[in-house]
A = this chain, B = another copy of it.
Amino acid sequence: MSLFDTEAYTCLSVQEVYELSFKVLTAAGLAEDQATSVAKVITAGERDECRSHGLYRLPGCVQTIQSGKLNKDAKPDIKDVTPALLKADAKFGYSVLAFDQAVDALAAKAKQNGIAALAINNCFHFSALWPEIEALTQRGVAALAMTPSHAWVAPAGGKRGLLGTNPMAFGWPRPGPNPYVFDFATSAIARGDLALHDIAGKPIPEGWGVDKDGNPTTVAREALDGAMLTFGGHKGSALSTMIELMAGPLIGDLTSLQSMAFDDNQKLAPMHGELVLAFDPGLLGGGDLETQSARAEQLFAAFADQGARLPSQRRFEARQRSLADGVRVPQSLYDRITALDL
């Protein structure tokens, strides 16, 4: 983060981040409804100081939009399959528009049936999952989301990329503005962090990756040419495999290996599926919402009591700051975005 303290920067309000994102995306040819959804999640990332999911993503979005593979005018087709199931065909547009168009119906189904699922197919995905989780907790339901990615990660005991970085996010609605929410990749580390270590010539800790022969390595370049590893050994590997199955074959969509083949080394946002589940505490709990919420709050209070932080706490603090004071965008990134050839 020292990068952001020493470097020159441009200060933007959160609204200006949104407007810049929307302008760039539509100038690149993305339809307005798609651009609105994408700009919203980029703005949320920048606002919460999740910079790797903020404006930093815009050049990559432009590349994906201009690739010819993304459907710039995709109108998601949302099917009400059963009382507990929605299927959204994103038609090779971005996942976030399909989600935005289905979120109210998903929450309503969960409230009516206790549990509901949204399977999004044929979508380009580049965003964090927590904005979607928060959209559901705001509607009073707990939520769980997952997607595959590209096959960079070896399973436990393996030596070649097979699983994606396969993120998983969960949220629980709380009284007040901020839910309990986490969002993590099941890889030991983000792929971008490996690249940063390579550029800086810094060794990586054991457990992040293996070389192309499957041997443990502390050299970032060797892990990039070999395979990343999951967090948490064989348990993390099992969890990643579950995500691969549930957000892939279960919903009739691609595995990370197939998504990578579809990309054909163009290094675009991955195209695959996403699974989002929503849970109604009212129906699942049997009616005594006050006791249920109090039990959860006691749990959270016990975290604080022993000095443990809840996930997303830093993000919520950053959000407060950004809404009050705006965000600092590194000048180099700002210049790169405004210089994009659109």
Decide if B113 touches A306 in the complex (CB within 8 Å). no
Decide if B115 touches A116 in the complex (CB within 8 Å). yes
Decide if B113 touches A83 in the complex (CB within 8 Å). yes
Name the segment of A50-58, A97-105, A241-249, A328-336 touching the other chain.
A241-249
Decide if A238 touches B184 in the complex (CB within 8 Å). yes
Decide if A250 touches B292 in the complex (CB within 8 Å). yes
Q: How far is the CB of A153 from chain B (nearest CB, A)?
A: 12
A window 289-303: CB within 8 A of B: 291-293, 295-296, 298-299, 302-303
Decide if A162 touches B302 in the complex (CB within 8 Å). yes
Decide if B113 touches A285 in the complex (CB within 8 Å). no
Decide if A245 touches B296 in the complex (CB within 8 Å). yes
Q: How far is the CB of A266 from chain B (nearest CB, A)?
A: 22
Decide if B283 touches A82 in the complex (CB within 8 Å). yes
A281 at the interface (CB under 8 A from B): yes
Q: How far is the CB of A247 from chain B (nearest CB, A)?
A: 10
Decide if B284 touches A251 in the complex (CB within 8 Å). yes
Interface string of A81-114 (1 = CB under 8 A from B): 1111101000000000000000000000000111
A248 contacts across to B, CB distance below 8 A: 295-296, 299
A157 at the interface (CB under 8 A from B): yes
A window 267-309: CB within 8 A of B: 275, 277, 279, 281, 283-288, 291-293, 295-296, 298-299, 302-303, 306-309
Decide if B277 touches A246 in the complex (CB within 8 Å). no
A182 contacts across to B, CB distance below 8 A: 238, 241-242
A255 at the interface (CB under 8 A from B): yes
Give the complex CA separation of A283 and B251 in angstroms. Answer: 8
A203 at the interface (CB under 8 A from B): no
Choice from B180, B186, B252, B255 contacting A245 with Cβ under 8 Å: B180
Decide if A283 touches B154 in the complex (CB within 8 Å). no
Q: Please, could you name 24 A-B residue pairs with CB atoms under 8 Å apart, sorted by A?
A: A82-B83, A82-B112, A82-B114, A82-B283, A84-B115, A85-B113, A115-B116, A115-B117, A117-B279, A154-B306, A157-B307, A158-B308, A162-B299, A170-B238, A170-B242, A182-B238, A184-B234, A231-B236, A241-B299, A249-B295, A249-B296, A252-B288, A255-B299, A258-B295
Interface string of A219-250 (1 = CB under 8 A from B): 00000000000011111111101101110111
Choice from B83, B160, B285 contacting A251 with Cβ under 8 Å: B285
A83 and B85 contact, Cβ closer than 8 Å, known pairs A245-B142, A248-B295, A292-B249: no
Choice from B84, B119, B184, B232 contacting A83 with Cβ under 8 Å: B84
Decide if A245 touches B299 in the complex (CB within 8 Å). yes
Copies of this chain, whole number? 2
A277 contacts across to B, CB distance below 8 A: 115, 277
Decide if A249 touches B170 in the complex (CB within 8 Å). no
A302 and B257 contact, Cβ closer than 8 Å, known pairs A81-B114, A81-B283, A291-B252: yes
Give the complex CA separation of A160 and B248 in angstroms. Answer: 38
A60 at the interface (CB under 8 A from B): no
Interface string of A164-208 (1 = CB under 8 A from B): 000000101000000010101010000000000000000000000
Give the complex CA separation of A84 and B242 in angstroms. Answer: 22
A257 contacts across to B, CB distance below 8 A: 298-299, 302
Choice from B158, B232, B286, B306 contacting A303 with Cβ under 8 Å: B158
